[in-house]
């Protein structure tokens, strides 16, 4: 069986346990048949071909066209390059996570009070600003389809950044509108007369949006206790909606 330390480190860089055991055993064997690898790695025979195929797709091993077919690890220089790429990706991920942890320092997520916007133009502008500052998740609760499409370009941008988007509509969209919205996030529909909707972003900020014939206006809330209550309430609202 391969070195337990190698298995542990391989798992840490993204290998599954079976992949790590298989690859570790193959390093020790240098080249071997699937049966030999299964015995030395203690990976079930029923799984060994799937695991070997996975490792080959990921570029860690090579097939030797002998009878029976054998497998070997890629050359040292290639392993070194792959590990360098993994290290680079890790550092980038680390930076991204640290940047996200700083999001609370952004002006749109700071404050001791609440702000009020009383014109459609100001409200739409602030919502767009908030959306472009979202890093993890945003939930739209009880909005008309027409209102959601005011921010469709911003939703597409943050979707590409990996932001999780949930949209609860209070009217019924056309098939084409629903198709577009589902391309950016999860969508639920509950037809109900309501002039108030909510936007909940990154567990840090909530906006209450009032949708009247005269236009849109909103309050933006920063109170931590209010945020925690809203998070629980909106979560239940989403779960009970079909």
Q: Which pLDDT does position 185 carry in this prediction? A: 94
CA 134 – CA 151 distance, rounded (Å): 13
Q: Which pLDDT does position 227 carry in this prediction? A: 59
Higher-confidence position of 183 and 14: 183
Mean pLDDT confidence for 219-228: 58
Higher-confidence position of 39 and 6: 39
CA nearest neighbour of 32 among 58, 57, 69: 69
Cis peptide before 68 (omega within 30 of 0): yes
Q: Which pLDDT does position 93 carry in this prediction? A: 54
* Distances, alpha carbon 74 to alpha carbons 17, 82, 89, 121, 214, in Å: 19, 10, 21, 59, 68
Residue ranges of domains in the chain, CATH in brackets: 4-74 (1.10.10.10), 106-240 (3.30.870.10)
Higher-confidence position of 176 and 77: 176
pLDDT band at 165 (very low <50, low <70, confident <90, very high): very high
Structure tokens at 195: 């002039």
Residue 111 has pLDDT above 50, yes or no: no
């Amino acid at each position: 069986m391969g070195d337990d330390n190698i298995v542990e480190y391989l798992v840490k860089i993204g290998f599954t346990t079976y992949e790590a055991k298989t690859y570790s055993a193959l390093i020790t064997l240098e080249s071997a048949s699937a049966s030999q690898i299964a015995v030395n790695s203690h990976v079930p025979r029923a799984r060994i071909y799937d695991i070997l195929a996975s490792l080959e797709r990921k570029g860690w091993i090579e097939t030797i066209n002998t009878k029976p077919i054998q497998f070997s690890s890629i050359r040292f220089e290639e392993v070194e390059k792959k590990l360098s790429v993994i290290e680079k990706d890790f550092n980038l991920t680390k930076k991204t996570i640290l940047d996200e942890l700083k999001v609370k320092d952004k002006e749109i997520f700071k404050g001791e009070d609440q702000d009020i916007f009383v014109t459609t133009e100001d409200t739409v502008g602030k919502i767009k600003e908030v959306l472009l500052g979202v890093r993890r998740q945003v939930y739209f609760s009880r909005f008309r389809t027409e209102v959601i499409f005011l921010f469709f370009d911003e939703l597409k941008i943050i979707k590409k950044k990996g932001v999780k988007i949930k949209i609860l509509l209070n009217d019924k969209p056309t098939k084409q509108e629903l198709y577009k919205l589902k391309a950016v996030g999860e969508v639920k529909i509950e037809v109900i007369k309501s002039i108030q909707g909510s936007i909940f972003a990154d567990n840090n900020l909530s906006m209450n949006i009032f949708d009247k014939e005269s236009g849109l206006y909103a309050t933006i809330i920063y109170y931590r206790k209010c945020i925690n209550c809203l998070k629980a309430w909106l979560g239940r609202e989403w779960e009970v909606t079909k």
